[in-house]
Amino acid sequence: MIDLSVFIKDLKFNNPFLNASGVWCTTYDEIEDILKSEAGGVVFKTMTLEKRTGNPEPRLHVEKDFSINSMGLPNFGVDYYCQIVSKLKKYKKPLIASIAGFKENEFYLLAEKIKKSDFDALEVNLSCPNLEGKGIFAYDIKTSFKILKNIRKIFKKKLGAKLPPYFERETIKKISEKIIEVKLDFVSLINSYPLGSKIDIKDEKLVIKPNQGIGGLGGKIIKPISIAQVLLFNQYFKNEIDIIGVGGINDAEDVYEYILAGAKLISIGTSLLKGVKIFKKIKIELEKIIKEKKIKNLNEKIGLIKI
Protein backbone atom coordinates (compact mmCIF):
# COMPACT_ATOMS: atom_id res chain seq x y z
CA MET A 1 0.00 0.00 0.00
CA ILE A 2 1.21 3.50 -0.85
CA ASP A 3 0.85 5.89 2.08
CA LEU A 4 0.35 9.52 1.03
CA SER A 5 -0.80 10.72 4.45
CA VAL A 6 0.93 13.66 6.12
CA PHE A 7 0.45 15.52 9.38
CA ILE A 8 0.66 19.08 10.64
CA LYS A 9 1.38 18.19 14.24
CA ASP A 10 -1.54 15.83 15.05
CA LEU A 11 -3.81 17.07 12.23
CA LYS A 12 -3.94 14.31 9.62
CA PHE A 13 -4.30 14.78 5.86
CA ASN A 14 -4.91 11.60 3.85
CA ASN A 15 -2.80 13.09 1.08
CA PRO A 16 -0.85 16.35 0.64
CA PHE A 17 -3.17 18.03 -1.87
CA LEU A 18 -4.98 21.27 -1.01
CA ASN A 19 -6.44 24.14 -2.96
CA ALA A 20 -4.79 27.53 -2.69
CA SER A 21 -7.09 29.94 -0.90
CA GLY A 22 -8.81 32.05 -3.51
CA VAL A 23 -9.50 29.35 -6.09
CA TRP A 24 -12.70 27.25 -6.09
CA CYS A 25 -13.42 27.94 -2.44
CA THR A 26 -15.73 30.95 -2.17
CA THR A 27 -19.19 29.34 -2.06
CA TYR A 28 -20.49 26.36 -0.11
CA ASP A 29 -20.84 24.35 -3.33
CA GLU A 30 -17.27 25.08 -4.42
CA ILE A 31 -15.85 24.08 -1.04
CA GLU A 32 -17.95 20.91 -1.08
CA ASP A 33 -16.64 20.11 -4.59
CA ILE A 34 -13.10 20.10 -3.20
CA LEU A 35 -14.05 17.95 -0.21
CA LYS A 36 -15.77 15.43 -2.49
CA SER A 37 -12.66 15.27 -4.69
CA GLU A 38 -9.33 13.57 -4.05
CA ALA A 39 -8.02 16.61 -2.18
CA GLY A 40 -6.65 15.94 1.30
CA GLY A 41 -8.33 18.99 2.80
CA VAL A 42 -9.59 22.45 1.91
CA VAL A 43 -8.49 26.03 2.51
CA PHE A 44 -11.46 28.39 2.54
CA LYS A 45 -11.52 31.66 0.63
CA THR A 46 -9.69 34.38 2.53
CA MET A 47 -12.43 35.95 4.61
CA THR A 48 -12.85 39.50 5.85
CA LEU A 49 -15.09 40.89 8.56
CA GLU A 50 -17.68 42.03 6.04
CA LYS A 51 -18.81 40.68 2.68
CA ARG A 52 -16.78 42.02 -0.28
CA THR A 53 -17.52 42.10 -4.00
CA GLY A 54 -13.84 42.62 -4.78
CA ASN A 55 -12.23 44.65 -7.54
CA PRO A 56 -13.92 45.62 -10.83
CA GLU A 57 -13.68 43.22 -13.77
CA PRO A 58 -11.81 42.14 -15.78
CA ARG A 59 -9.66 41.09 -12.83
CA LEU A 60 -8.30 37.68 -13.89
CA HIS A 61 -6.27 36.73 -16.95
CA VAL A 62 -5.02 33.20 -17.59
CA GLU A 63 -2.55 31.93 -20.18
CA LYS A 64 -0.72 28.63 -20.60
CA ASP A 65 2.20 29.38 -18.29
CA PHE A 66 0.89 32.10 -16.01
CA SER A 67 -2.06 33.93 -14.54
CA ILE A 68 -2.51 37.52 -13.43
CA ASN A 69 -5.20 38.42 -10.95
CA SER A 70 -6.35 41.39 -8.96
CA MET A 71 -9.44 39.90 -7.38
CA GLY A 72 -9.54 42.15 -4.30
CA LEU A 73 -10.62 39.47 -1.83
CA PRO A 74 -14.24 38.89 -2.91
CA ASN A 75 -15.89 36.76 -0.21
CA PHE A 76 -19.11 36.39 1.78
CA GLY A 77 -17.66 37.57 5.08
CA VAL A 78 -16.43 35.60 8.10
CA ASP A 79 -19.87 34.94 9.59
CA TYR A 80 -20.99 33.09 6.45
CA TYR A 81 -18.00 30.74 6.54
CA CYS A 82 -18.29 30.15 10.28
CA GLN A 83 -21.92 29.14 9.72
CA ILE A 84 -21.26 26.66 6.90
CA VAL A 85 -18.13 25.00 8.28
CA SER A 86 -20.01 22.73 10.68
CA LYS A 87 -22.02 21.28 7.78
CA LEU A 88 -18.77 20.26 6.07
CA LYS A 89 -17.30 18.30 8.99
CA LYS A 90 -19.03 15.19 7.63
CA TYR A 91 -16.31 14.81 5.00
CA LYS A 92 -13.75 14.18 7.74
CA LYS A 93 -11.05 16.25 6.05
CA PRO A 94 -9.18 19.18 7.59
CA LEU A 95 -10.96 22.50 7.17
CA ILE A 96 -8.62 25.50 7.13
CA ALA A 97 -9.82 29.08 7.52
CA SER A 98 -7.99 31.97 5.87
CA ILE A 99 -8.35 35.52 7.18
CA ALA A 100 -7.22 39.01 6.18
CA GLY A 101 -7.76 42.32 7.90
CA PHE A 102 -7.34 45.83 6.56
CA LYS A 103 -6.28 47.08 9.97
CA GLU A 104 -4.39 45.30 12.72
CA ASN A 105 -7.39 45.02 15.04
CA GLU A 106 -9.47 43.33 12.34
CA PHE A 107 -7.16 40.32 12.40
CA TYR A 108 -7.92 39.81 16.10
CA LEU A 109 -11.67 40.13 15.62
CA LEU A 110 -11.51 37.57 12.82
CA ALA A 111 -9.40 35.18 14.91
CA GLU A 112 -11.92 35.38 17.77
CA LYS A 113 -14.73 34.36 15.41
CA ILE A 114 -12.71 31.48 13.92
CA LYS A 115 -11.80 30.34 17.43
CA LYS A 116 -15.49 29.77 18.22
CA SER A 117 -16.16 27.81 15.01
CA ASP A 118 -15.44 24.26 13.78
CA PHE A 119 -12.36 25.07 11.71
CA ASP A 120 -9.38 22.77 12.29
CA ALA A 121 -6.71 25.32 11.45
CA LEU A 122 -6.23 28.98 10.62
CA GLU A 123 -4.06 30.53 7.92
CA VAL A 124 -3.37 34.24 8.39
CA ASN A 125 -3.09 35.85 4.97
CA LEU A 126 -0.48 38.56 5.38
CA SER A 127 0.37 38.70 1.70
CA CYS A 128 -2.55 39.73 -0.50
CA PRO A 129 -1.07 42.05 -3.17
CA ASN A 130 -4.33 43.14 -4.78
CA LEU A 131 -5.92 45.72 -2.50
CA GLU A 132 -5.76 49.22 -3.97
CA GLY A 133 -4.06 51.65 -1.63
CA LYS A 134 -2.99 48.89 0.78
CA GLY A 135 0.51 47.56 1.32
CA ILE A 136 1.41 43.94 1.98
CA PHE A 137 1.41 43.34 5.75
CA ALA A 138 4.13 40.69 5.52
CA TYR A 139 6.68 43.22 4.25
CA ASP A 140 6.20 45.19 7.47
CA ILE A 141 7.94 42.61 9.62
CA LYS A 142 7.40 44.36 12.95
CA THR A 143 3.64 44.75 12.49
CA SER A 144 3.04 41.35 10.90
CA PHE A 145 4.74 39.46 13.72
CA LYS A 146 2.96 41.52 16.33
CA ILE A 147 -0.26 40.36 14.64
CA LEU A 148 0.83 36.72 14.58
CA LYS A 149 2.01 36.79 18.18
CA ASN A 150 -1.34 38.14 19.36
CA ILE A 151 -3.35 35.71 17.23
CA ARG A 152 -1.31 32.85 18.69
CA LYS A 153 -2.63 33.88 22.12
CA ILE A 154 -6.20 33.80 20.80
CA PHE A 155 -6.16 30.72 18.58
CA LYS A 156 -4.89 27.48 20.11
CA LYS A 157 -5.48 25.11 17.18
CA LYS A 158 -3.12 24.77 14.20
CA LEU A 159 -1.98 28.24 13.13
CA GLY A 160 -0.07 29.32 10.06
CA ALA A 161 0.65 32.28 7.81
CA LYS A 162 0.55 32.78 4.06
CA LEU A 163 3.64 34.71 3.00
CA PRO A 164 4.76 36.55 -0.13
CA PRO A 165 8.11 35.94 -1.83
CA TYR A 166 11.14 37.50 -0.15
CA PHE A 167 14.23 38.46 -2.06
CA GLU A 168 17.20 38.18 0.29
CA ARG A 169 18.48 35.17 2.22
CA GLU A 170 19.06 37.24 5.35
CA THR A 171 15.46 38.44 5.28
CA ILE A 172 14.22 34.85 5.03
CA LYS A 173 16.50 33.81 7.88
CA LYS A 174 15.20 36.64 10.08
CA ILE A 175 11.57 35.84 9.28
CA SER A 176 12.13 32.13 9.91
CA GLU A 177 13.50 32.89 13.36
CA LYS A 178 10.48 35.08 14.09
CA ILE A 179 8.08 32.33 12.96
CA ILE A 180 9.75 29.82 15.28
CA GLU A 181 9.59 32.36 18.11
CA VAL A 182 5.85 32.92 17.56
CA LYS A 183 5.36 29.13 17.48
CA LEU A 184 3.40 28.87 14.27
CA ASP A 185 2.58 25.37 13.08
CA PHE A 186 2.93 25.98 9.34
CA VAL A 187 3.54 28.53 6.60
CA SER A 188 2.22 28.64 3.04
CA LEU A 189 4.89 29.58 0.50
CA ILE A 190 4.14 31.57 -1.54
CA ASN A 191 1.30 33.89 -2.40
CA SER A 192 1.36 35.27 -5.93
CA TYR A 193 4.32 37.38 -7.03
CA PRO A 194 3.02 40.89 -6.23
CA LEU A 195 3.70 42.74 -9.48
CA GLY A 196 2.67 41.14 -12.76
CA SER A 197 1.15 42.65 -15.87
CA LYS A 198 0.25 41.82 -19.47
CA ILE A 199 -0.58 44.05 -22.43
CA ASP A 200 -2.83 42.90 -25.26
CA ILE A 201 -1.05 44.39 -28.27
CA LYS A 202 -4.05 43.83 -30.55
CA ASP A 203 -6.30 46.09 -28.49
CA GLU A 204 -3.32 47.98 -27.02
CA LYS A 205 -4.66 47.72 -23.50
CA LEU A 206 -3.91 46.01 -20.22
CA VAL A 207 -5.67 42.67 -19.71
CA ILE A 208 -6.96 43.42 -16.20
CA LYS A 209 -8.58 46.62 -14.94
CA PRO A 210 -7.74 47.09 -11.21
CA ASN A 211 -4.53 48.58 -9.85
CA GLN A 212 -3.52 50.11 -13.18
CA GLY A 213 -3.50 46.68 -14.81
CA ILE A 214 -1.05 45.19 -12.32
CA GLY A 215 -1.89 42.09 -10.29
CA GLY A 216 -0.49 39.02 -8.60
CA LEU A 217 1.48 36.73 -10.91
CA GLY A 218 0.79 33.00 -10.52
CA GLY A 219 0.99 29.73 -12.38
CA LYS A 220 3.88 27.75 -13.84
CA ILE A 221 6.09 30.79 -14.28
CA ILE A 222 6.53 31.36 -10.52
CA LYS A 223 7.42 27.79 -9.52
CA PRO A 224 11.21 28.35 -9.49
CA ILE A 225 10.70 31.34 -7.19
CA SER A 226 8.48 29.35 -4.86
CA ILE A 227 10.78 26.31 -4.80
CA ALA A 228 13.68 28.53 -3.73
CA GLN A 229 11.55 30.00 -0.92
CA VAL A 230 10.64 26.51 0.29
CA LEU A 231 14.27 25.39 0.19
CA LEU A 232 15.50 28.35 2.23
CA PHE A 233 12.70 28.43 4.79
CA ASN A 234 13.02 24.68 5.31
CA GLN A 235 16.75 25.08 5.88
CA TYR A 236 16.19 27.72 8.56
CA PHE A 237 13.17 26.03 10.17
CA LYS A 238 15.20 22.92 11.07
CA ASN A 239 12.06 20.73 11.14
CA GLU A 240 10.25 22.97 13.65
CA ILE A 241 7.68 24.44 11.20
CA ASP A 242 5.77 22.66 8.44
CA ILE A 243 5.56 24.11 4.93
CA ILE A 244 2.73 24.17 2.40
CA GLY A 245 4.20 24.73 -1.07
CA VAL A 246 2.22 26.93 -3.47
CA GLY A 247 2.92 28.01 -7.02
CA GLY A 248 2.93 26.48 -10.49
CA ILE A 249 1.75 22.98 -9.62
CA ASN A 250 0.38 21.24 -12.71
CA ASP A 251 1.37 17.60 -12.25
CA ALA A 252 2.87 15.09 -9.82
CA GLU A 253 6.44 15.91 -10.85
CA ASP A 254 5.83 19.43 -9.57
CA VAL A 255 4.44 17.97 -6.32
CA TYR A 256 7.45 15.70 -5.88
CA GLU A 257 9.80 18.62 -6.48
CA TYR A 258 8.12 20.58 -3.68
CA ILE A 259 8.29 17.54 -1.38
CA LEU A 260 12.03 17.18 -1.97
CA ALA A 261 12.49 20.91 -1.34
CA GLY A 262 10.85 20.57 2.07
CA ALA A 263 7.09 21.08 1.63
CA LYS A 264 4.83 18.70 3.54
CA LEU A 265 1.67 19.71 1.67
CA ILE A 266 1.02 21.52 -1.60
CA SER A 267 -1.72 23.93 -2.66
CA ILE A 268 -2.99 24.19 -6.22
CA GLY A 269 -4.12 27.56 -7.55
CA THR A 270 -4.06 28.44 -11.25
CA SER A 271 -4.41 24.81 -12.42
CA LEU A 272 -7.48 24.40 -10.23
CA LEU A 273 -9.32 26.93 -12.39
CA LYS A 274 -9.92 24.01 -14.77
CA GLY A 275 -11.77 22.03 -12.10
CA VAL A 276 -11.31 19.73 -9.10
CA LYS A 277 -10.52 16.68 -11.25
CA ILE A 278 -6.89 17.79 -11.13
CA PHE A 279 -6.61 16.32 -7.62
CA LYS A 280 -7.40 12.81 -8.88
CA LYS A 281 -5.03 13.22 -11.83
CA ILE A 282 -2.13 14.31 -9.64
CA LYS A 283 -2.82 11.62 -7.04
CA ILE A 284 -2.64 8.86 -9.66
CA GLU A 285 0.55 10.35 -11.10
CA LEU A 286 2.19 10.71 -7.67
CA GLU A 287 1.35 7.13 -6.70
CA LYS A 288 3.06 6.01 -9.90
CA ILE A 289 6.21 8.01 -9.09
CA ILE A 290 6.31 6.65 -5.55
CA LYS A 291 5.84 3.09 -6.78
CA GLU A 292 8.67 3.48 -9.30
CA LYS A 293 10.96 4.88 -6.61
CA LYS A 294 9.95 2.10 -4.20
CA ILE A 295 8.90 4.50 -1.46
CA LYS A 296 6.49 3.25 1.20
CA ASN A 297 5.68 6.57 2.83
CA LEU A 298 5.78 10.04 1.30
CA ASN A 299 7.22 11.47 4.51
CA GLU A 300 10.46 9.64 3.77
CA LYS A 301 11.28 12.21 1.08
CA ILE A 302 10.26 15.53 2.64
CA GLY A 303 13.23 17.87 2.43
CA LEU A 304 15.67 15.17 1.29
CA ILE A 305 17.03 17.04 -1.69
CA LYS A 306 20.58 16.12 -2.68
CA ILE A 307 22.97 19.08 -2.93
Show which residues are catalytic.
128
Gap between the Cα atoms of 81 and 102, Å rounded: 18
| Max CA separation in the chain (angstroms) | 55
Helix 169-182 with 223-237: angle, nearest 10 deg: 50
Q: 279 phi and psi, to 5 degrees? A: -65, -40
For 252-272, letters b (16+ CB in 10 Å) and e give bebbbbbbbbbbbbbbbbbbb
The Cα angle at residue 237 between residues 249 and 13, in degrees rounded to 5: 50
Gap between the Cα atoms of 258 and 227, Å rounded: 6
Gap between the Cα atoms of 141 and 146, Å rounded: 8
